[in-house]
Chains A and B, each alone.
Chain A
Amino acid sequence: GAVVSQHPSRVICKSGTSVKIECRSLDFQATTMFWYRQFPKQSLMLMATSNEGSKATYEQGVEKDKFLINHASLTLSTLTVTSAHPEDSSFYICSAISGSMGSGELFFGEGSRLTVL
């Protein structure tokens, strides 16, 4: 089946630095990718919808200047957490649509655990 790769799987950084997380669709082209945040023992919280070649659509309450999303190609979307702080520590997961959403063809990456010291 379709595979979505996320990198890095784990990152630790100092407060104030920026961290980039990559999301790649390995065997399909994804015009739309999604970025989620997941706190321990909680569900996925959609942060933004990333469309290839256009600006991302952010969910209410998500700071677009802090969480920069770039979807420069049909197989790659990146999430950059700028000037990270300890409260940004979380599990970030991307997903990508293969085909149309209606048939459930949404595949998830393995997730990236960010720890900000």
Chain B
Amino acid sequence: QKEVEQDPGPLSVPEGAIVSLNCTYSNSAFQYFMWYRQYSRKGPELLMYTYSSGNKEDGRFTAQVDKSSKYISLFIRDSQPSDSATYLCAGSAGNMLTFGGGTRLMVKP
């Protein structure tokens, strides 16, 4: 079993839709949780990070962590075609990051 599981998609939504991206993890030692966005043929860029359980909002993006169920979510409101990318979740224990496989999102105009 992978430490971080993520549905690979692709997830196709119409422009303006609310997108929900999810991950599950198994490592109880994870304390920080990150979401990265990766455009095709580019390196990942950090979108958001959260510490322990709770919500964090940044513009159209909301990250949610439920440590009791080991569930991580990223919500995108008013999705745009420019949001089309692969979204990687990751958990951090100490100095190491463990990534999920990524979910490919396609937002159609």
A binding-site residues for B, Cβ under 8 Å: 4, 6, 32, 34, 41-44, 46, 49, 91, 93, 95, 97, 101-104, 106-111, 113
Contact = CB atoms under 8 A, between A and B. Distances in A.
A55 B95 CA distance: 17
A54 B46 CA distance: 27
Interface of B: 6, 8, 31-32, 34, 36, 41-46, 49, 51, 88, 92, 94-97, 99-102, 104
A93 B43 contact: yes
Contacts of B95: 32, 49, 97, 101
Contact of B99 (A43, A91, A110): A43
A104 B101 contact: no
Interface centre among B31, B44, B49, B96 (most CB of A within 10 A): B44
B15 to A, nearest CB: 24
A26 B6 CA distance: 32
Contacts of B41: 91, 111, 113
Main secondary structure of the interface of A (DSSP, over half): strand
Given A102-B31, A102-B32, A103-B32, A42 B101 contact: yes
B44 A104 contact: no
A109 B101 contact: no
Contacts of B104: 41
Nearest to B31: A102
Nearest to B104: A41
B49 A104 contact: yes
Given A32-B95, A106-B46, A43 B32 contact: no
A102 B88 contact: no
Nearest to A6: B43
A7 to B, nearest CB: 12
B49 A103 contact: yes
B46 A107 contact: yes
